[in-house]
Chain A
């Protein structure tokens, strides 16, 4: 994905066609943006929901996998985490952990 996007951007710049300025529109971004509804934009929670901003990728992966397997107690995250493949969990964690 990244490679092909990067490739198209290089091609576009070469051709003088506008590139997307701003956040990336990757599969990781799409998946992670669904987290923001409950955890706040970029994972920065303004209230009683836990923030998920600034958490290292390995820690996010483990937490999500433990929610998925039922190892980690949850109110609703167990029901959410079951909706994602291991690859998707890695994509979410990768994107979230890199938000500046």
Chain B
């Protein structure tokens, strides 16, 4: 018996008998009338929510799992900069929810959650009937702090895109780049920490330069930054020098980079208390961010607008039986990224399943690996392994870090190939 694994033990017991016991007992416990026992509702079908739904069913096939997502398909932010650079089309970053339904038996509901009632363990939908849950997982991503930059709101984003939620915004920015004259100036306004995908604005500058170098080589990219340093900074700057000398200019926050306002008609960004104005032919404003709207509405956020969670289980510290994963959550040292959300989805699924059956939850472990492309054959990474230390998610010392500087072209090329491989794997792990 000592050498029996759980899997073999299950086989030994006979799966039919076991399922019968599970289902009957679970139904008796919940009284919810669910087909297969406990009902877990996951709100938000991005990397966090989709992965969590899938792994809930992998860990416990008797669970009833409902995934609620507004959009019929998911368009990934990862690789959306590659679309801006012309390396791939929108169809290559668009994913269906069909496999989550057909392979994993997840019920996918396309609707908008309008309210969460943690006391009644119930959510309200815009179109459908309210849904009761035993456990709720919220993975609502980010929302923007409109007007934090004076004059920049949702309506203006139809003219001056943020392109930081992939979809029509990505297409809009790409079209503007295509329509720009040679010799034009593209300005990117980058936010302060914390925000989704820390290397995102800088990969974007690289991909825009990649496109401009081929088609409009007299053009420039200026990054006006709120911060004084950024993710993979040394590697990005080394790459820009090599690939796009003189094309990309980065202005640190303390050197006047922080954008304070926008003049839409004049296509001008204002910095340094209005003293300096930057005119662009194409402007991309990546606004400051906060947890997704429904997290704010549900009372899951702190006064900074993000969701505090138990660092082991991702259960909200503000509402029982509600879990928050992905960009919305405060997950220690983990960056807000699709990769982080994917890992958190798995850990949260394990936490929920073990808690339902009073089993011990193994020590958490997470990884983040972030690939950025500077051109079609120039990739760089930052990686980290995370564990629980002093009740918070912390990087394992001695592990992780960035790609080597001054690496040979072959190394950069390999990482560019693996960037594509990473994308195929993580989207399959999350949505297929």
Contact A25 B426 (CB under 8 A): no
Contact A40 B428 (CB under 8 A): yes
| Segment 1-55 of B: residues with Cβ below 8 Å from A | 1-2, 4-7, 9-10, 13, 15, 18-19, 21-23, 25-26, 37, 55
Stretch touching chain A among B113-121, B151-159, B274-282, B365-373: B365-373
Task: Tell whether B174 is near chain A: CB-to-CB under 8 Å.
Answer: no
Identify the closest chain A residue to B4 (Cβ): A6
- Counted as pairs of residues, one from A and one from B, with CB atoms less than 8 Å apart, the total is 187
Shortest Cβ distance from residue A72 to the other chain B in the assembled complex, whole angstroms: 14
Q: Which residues of A contact B342 (CB under 8 A)?
A: 37
Q: Which residues of B contact A82 (CB under 8 A)?
A: 385, 396, 398-400
- Given contacts A34-B343, A83-B385, A83-B396, are A21 and B15 in contact (CB under 8 A)? yes
Complex CA distance for A40 and B200, rounded to whole angstroms: 23
Contact B360 A38 (CB under 8 A): no
In the complex, per-residue mask of B388-432: 1 if CB is within 8 Å of any chain A CB, else 0? 000000001011110100000001001101101111111011001
Q: Which of A27, A83, A98 contacts B5 (CB 8 A)?
A: A98
Q: How many residues of A contact B (CB 8 A)?
A: 50
| Segment 11-27 of A: residues with Cβ below 8 Å from B | 12-13, 16-27
Q: Which residues of B contact A6 (CB under 8 A)?
A: 1, 4, 6, 9
Complex CA distance for A57 and B165, rounded to whole angstroms: 41
Complex CA distance for A23 and B56, rounded to whole angstroms: 10
Contact A19 B350 (CB under 8 A): no
Contact A47 B420 (CB under 8 A): yes
Q: Which of A34, A49, A79, A98 contacts B421 (CB 8 A)?
A: A49
Shortest Cβ distance from residue B104 to the other chain A in the assembled complex, whole angstroms: 10
Q: Which residues of A contact B400 (CB under 8 A)?
A: 79-80, 82-83
Contact B362 A25 (CB under 8 A): yes
Contact B425 A40 (CB under 8 A): yes
Contact A84 B425 (CB under 8 A): no
Task: Tell whether A8 is near chain B: CB-to-CB under 8 Å.
Answer: yes
Contact A38 B426 (CB under 8 A): yes
Q: Which residues of B contact A49 (CB under 8 A)?
A: 418, 421-422, 424-425
Complex CA distance for A77 and B82, rounded to whole angstroms: 24
Q: Which residues of A contact B135 (CB under 8 A)?
A: none
Q: Which residues of B contact A18 (CB under 8 A)?
A: 21-23, 25-26, 37, 62, 357
30 A-B residue pairs with Cβ-Cβ distance under 8 Å, sorted by A, are: A4-B360, A6-B1, A9-B6, A13-B13, A20-B357, A21-B15, A21-B18, A21-B22, A22-B57, A23-B58, A25-B353, A25-B359, A27-B363, A34-B343, A46-B428, A48-B417, A48-B418, A48-B420, A48-B424, A75-B415, A75-B418, A79-B401, A80-B383, A80-B385, A82-B398, A82-B400, A83-B384, A83-B387, A83-B399, A84-B396
Q: Which residues of B contact A (CB under 8 A)?
A: 1-2, 4-7, 9-10, 13, 15, 18-19, 21-23, 25-26, 37, 55, 57-62, 339, 342-343, 346-347, 350, 353-354, 357-367, 369, 381, 383-385, 387, 396, 398-401, 403, 411, 414-415, 417-418, 420-426, 428-429, 432
Instruction: Known pairs A5-B360, A30-B346, A79-B399; list 6 more (Cβ under 8 Å).
Output: A13-B21, A18-B23, A21-B22, A27-B363, A49-B422, A83-B387
